[in-house]
A and B are shown apart, each in its own frame.
Chain A
Amino acid sequence: MLPRGSEGAYMMYTPDGRLVQVEYAAEAAKYGSPVVAVRGKGFAVMVARTKEPDPLLDPMEKIHMVDENIGIAGAGFTGDIQLLVDQARVEAQRHRLVFEDPIDVKTLVNQLGQFMYQFTRYGNVRPLGASLIVIGSDRVGTHIFQLDTRGLLLSGKALAIGKNSEAAISLLRDEYRQEISMKGAINLAVKALSSAEDGESPVEVGIAKGMSFKKMCLKDALESKE
């Protein structure tokens, strides 16, 4: 039996086969404010609410640009998210250096997943308390991916992470339609986001389409031509 408080130094299974440090980290990621992503035909969108505005502070961004064609939003510890975003940006530029072409979304999320997974294998490290949604458009198509603390990679038609994401997911499950329009997808994502978290703070929207990723405020996103 380990002395109380020292279990953080070990990354070992409990007798019933769990890695509790990783589970604690996943719990931390669940406290982050939610992010919702929806994929349609030829496009993908993600929405997130910025932090409640403080008159003294500049608003914090929630959606991060990684490269011309990829964006990331995370839920969890801001520092851990920033580390992952930095890692993703470096990977994207490294790929450009080697191949003179932008990185594809799958390669990027695989590398991020491996990076996160490493923290679940060794003692004396803290698994990252963050999960990510990565959306992007490359020459294969348009993608949405979700990465969790364990390095588990999910992709699909609609995803949600962060606080109360179960509520957002159940709404998405009910209301997602195959032939959803861009505007419809943004509205659905915002609705799902609001079901998970009510707030007045502004909504950021990320749109991936035609080999590019753009970040904008909700008003601009809904007024764009699509």
Chain B
Amino acid sequence: MTTIVALRCADGVVLASDRRASKGGMIGSKAVKKIYPIDGRKAVAIAGQLSDANYLVNLVKAEAKLMEFNRGFPLTVKEVAKLLSNMLYSGMRNYAPYITELLVAGVDETGPNVFEADISGAVTDEMFTSSGSGSPMAYGVLEASYREGLTVKEGAEIAKRAVRSAMERDPGSGNGVQIMVITEKGSEFLDAGGAA
């Protein structure tokens, strides 16, 4: 229950999410945060079990900071994705999987990057990707609108449309859109306008 998307653009990456948390047939919360910064130039969008995802994100955030202190430069986006996937994989292998899917996006010295890590620990390198119950609807918009060389401004517009479309037809998604844009200069949340 969720819609999250991440896009790789020419000058950065865009992450977007809805804001609904479901509790069975009920809406558990109407203002949930599903995009978490790892550091100034990397963020993770989460889908699935909120507690599992939060646990993994917090662990990776701590690990990333420690490593940056020790070696003197930050992790790459791929390294963050690999750290998450290693935990996801060991969870699956130990019959106690983390019920979550994570989109890792950010800018490092190799440029803008988007990765997806799923419940099994599989990591894929993507141009654009979506996850959660609303992803089939979001993919419809992304497949039709995404092209290489988008600016983050154009990317943010497409991401917003993708999440909005999902919110129209997926009962698990709704209560507004949150967008994060990450460029070389840093990251910021964009105001996507009131709840839709």
- Where the two chains meet, the residues of A that have a C-beta atom closer than 8 Å to any C-beta of B are 98-101, 104, 106-107, 110, 139-140
Contacts and interface: CB of A to CB of B under 8 A. Distances in A.
B73 interface: yes
Interface of B: 67, 70-73, 76, 78-79, 82-83, 86, 109
Contacts of B86: 98
Contacts of B70: 106-107, 110
Interface SS majority for chain B: helix
Given A98-B83, A99-B82, A110 B71 contact: yes
A98 B82 contact: yes
Contact of B76 (A98, A101, A107, A110): A101
A100 B71 CA distance: 17
Contacts of B67: 107
B73 A100 contact: no
A104 B71 contact: yes
25 contacts: A98-B82, A98-B83, A98-B86, A99-B78, A99-B79, A99-B82, A99-B83, A100-B78, A100-B82, A101-B76, A101-B78, A101-B79, A104-B71, A104-B73, A106-B70, A106-B71, A106-B72, A107-B67, A107-B70, A107-B71, A110-B70, A110-B71, A139-B109, A140-B72, A140-B73
Contacts, number: 25
Nearest to B79: A99
A139 to B, nearest CB: 7
Nearest to B80: A99
A99 B71 CA distance: 14
Nearest to B110: A139
Nearest to A95: B79
A202 to B, nearest CB: 35
A154 to B, nearest CB: 16
A100 B83 CA distance: 10
A104 B86 CA distance: 20
Contacts of B71: 104, 106-107, 110
A104 B67 CA distance: 11
A99 B109 CA distance: 16
A110 B73 CA distance: 14
